[in-house]
Amino acid sequence: MRPASSATRPAPERTAGSAWAPVALGLFVVVSAARLVAIPLELDDLARGSTFLLMPSLALWVLARRGPILLVAALLCSAAGDILLGTDGMFLAGMGAFAAAHVCYVTLFVRSGALPALRRRWFLVLAYLVALVGLTLWLWPDLGDLRIPVVVYAVLLAATAVTAGALGWRLGLGGALFFVSDTMIAVWDIAGRPAPPLPGLWIMSTYILAQYLLASGALRVDPRGVGG
């Protein structure tokens, strides 16, 4: 147990680190807005530059909040995935980077108590299992050579959503939005099903919100993070 004085007066190093948190979060908000604005305006250079800064700026915020290293790793793997998915011929590598991000998320959530919590929220496992099987059967004929990689990735994606949901509504919503965002990519981009106007706006908006909710929720759950 920490001394009473440490509960009311933060340690100097945490205070110094936390002072940068609003700046880092503000950077993430600005970069996110730029990324979304670039889609309807078709500003390719802005889209590319903001994509490169998107997850690193969120990772910087987590570092400023003294967040867990697994969370930082998940965000940086996501950053690598964003870059690779936007590079010709690197789709599988990008999927692999995001798969690594989900491994980091699942490991973090399991260490934070997700498995015992799932005994009370067992319905999450059932719900995502039904969604996963249904989507696989629906899209299977149109996935081509990506069938196996997509299914493996989808299992990891669902594992993130399930373990996140076990730890509270904020993490659960983040995991659900990540699942929805990547499902839209599978349906519209990989399987080639009809998409609504500005599909990139739907995909990126849910992705950005998902990552923020996962990051902020993990900071609340993990004792090394700063709640609030």
DSSP-derived letter for residue 167 is: T
φ, ψ at 3 (rounded to 5°): -60, 155
- The pLDDT score that the predictor gives to residue 221 is 82
DSSP-derived letter for residue 125 is: H
pTM: 0.88
Locate the domains of the chain by residue range: 4-221
Kindly report which listed range (11-15, 30-34, 93-97, 144-148) carries the lowest average pLDDT score: 11-15
Give me the mean pLDDT over the 56-72 stretch: 96
Among 79, 23, 76, residue whose Cα is nearest residue 52: 79
- The pLDDT score that the predictor gives to residue 17 is 52
DSSP-derived letter for residue 221 is: H
In angstroms, how far is CA 52 from the centroid of its own chain? 15
Number of C-beta neighbours around residue 42 at 10 A: 8
- The pLDDT score that the predictor gives to residue 224 is 45
